[in-house]
Amino acid sequence: MKQPVLAVVGPTAVGKTRLGIELAHKYNGEIISGDSMQVYEGLTIGTAKPTLEERREAPHHLVDMLSPDTPYSAADFKEKAEPIIERLHGEGKLPIIVGGTGMYIRALLHDYSFYDAKKQESVREKWELYARHYGSEALHANLERKDPERAAAVHPNNVRRVVRALEILETSEEGPTLSKKMQKKHSPYASFMIGLTMNRPYLYERIERRVDRMMEGGLEHEARWLYERFGEEVQAAQAIGYKEWFPYFRGDQGTDWVAERMKRNSRRYAKRQLTWFRNKEDAHWYDITDRSRPFADEAFASILRQFEREHR
């Protein structure tokens, strides 16, 4: 019998962290971060990590584990998360994946197989060289030919993500996008996914307020530490909230530009996240707009009853 895993997904700033904690309280669960950047030590403000108080409310795993110069792939996430899930099941606890990095969560819940690191590195170098020679548009065109659905979720200018997508296609057994039927067949867990969404203007307003709080809360200091100690090329430096500061540190832009670019990039990222989860995953969607207490709402209660019928 497959063991249950609950996942809470959705765009940035939608409220996943708070809901995950409340679900952990309700179902005797612990949280596994499904975020590709919260794993890095020292990057707290820009990655919107759960606060220390929130981590005391419910145990969080895969947060503050790696130095920012350490690569962290979907394969790495899967490798680290699987033994945590096994241990939690052994303790009678519910693993709750909370995050917005769709490929990582998908790799875990649908048991992707990955080839060895040397092959991955070779494939990555091949596509990085291709991008330098032929440009980002040509690189993205290759991804579009191989997997149109995945290409639609990645902006052509985000060379790192396009390269990563091509790398995964070549070095995993996944191949082009699997059908939903195949996804369910190969899932090693009895997974149940709750997707959070909200009115787009309200979500964008929340994103912009979050950026303002980050700017006021010391993000510049955090980004400068990353820039001066590790440079611009490490994986962690490509995250929204950090890469936008580098032109400012070089003297090319001001802080107003940094804030506006962060807001723009975050809005675009939120849109891509929604596209990914709606197209890729069979989530139970809940519109959290203007609902500060989802557990008191009948629509959300109905989702939880379905989870309990199927997996408890």
Residue numbers belonging to the annotated binding site? 10-17
Nearest Cα to 36, choosing from 267, 241, 309, 296?
241
The angle formed by the CA atoms of residues 6, 7 and 10, to the nearest 5 degrees, is 155
- Spatial distance between the Cα atoms of 164 and 263, rounded to a whole number of angstroms: 24
Q: In what order do the strands lie in the sheet with 60-61?
A: 60-61, 29-33, 94-98, 4-9, 190-197, 284-287
Q: Is the dihedral of CA 238, 285, 107, 75 positive or negative?
A: positive
Are 189 and 4 a contacting pair, CB within 8 Å?
yes
Binding-site entries for substrate: 12-17
Tokens for 235? 């994986």
* Burial (0-12, 13-18, 19+ Cβ within 10 Å), 221: exposed
Nearest Cα residue to 36 out of 1, 90, 81, 5: 81
Q: Are the CB atoms for 85 and 5 separated by under 8 Å? A: yes
Nearest to 6 by CA among 93, 76, 104, 75: 93
Q: Are 196 and 16 in contact (CB under 8 A)?
A: yes
300, two tokens:
């959300």
Residue 203: which of 152, 144, 266, 281 has the closest Cα? 266
Q: Point out the annotated binding site for ATP.
A: 10-17
